[in-house]
Amino acid sequence: LLERIGQEAGVRPEHEAPAGIEVVRRRGTDADYLFLIDHAGRGAEIPAEGVELLTGKPVAGSVTVPEGGVAVVRGPKPTPGGE
C-alpha cells in the first residue's frame, strides 16, 4: 500500500537498488555517508563515489555490496543547490 501511495505521489528513492538491498544516506558536516546492507544474500553493485570505509578502497562509479554483507561509502558533501 505504501509503495503504491508513494508512486502515485511521485516519490522516488534517492538511490536505486535491487530488492533486498537497504540503502541509507546520512549527511554529515564534511561528507555524506552511504550505508548499504544486503538482506537478500545476493550481493549487488550500487552506484557510488568516494571511499569504502570498511576496506579503505576508493570507489569510482559503483561499490560492491558482498552477499549478505555491508558497504559504507564516505562521499563528498554536495554543494548547496547541487543535490
Whether the pLDDT of residue 20 is over 70: the answer is yes
pTM (2 decimals)? 0.79
Q: What CA–CA distance (Å, rounded) separates 83 from 48?
A: 14
Positive or negative, the CA dihedral 72, 74, 75, 80 is positive
* Residue 16 pLDDT grade (very low, low, confident, very high; cuts 50, 70, 90): confident
- For 24-70, the pLDDT digits (tens) are 999 999 999 999 999 999 999 999 999 999 999 999 999 999 999 99
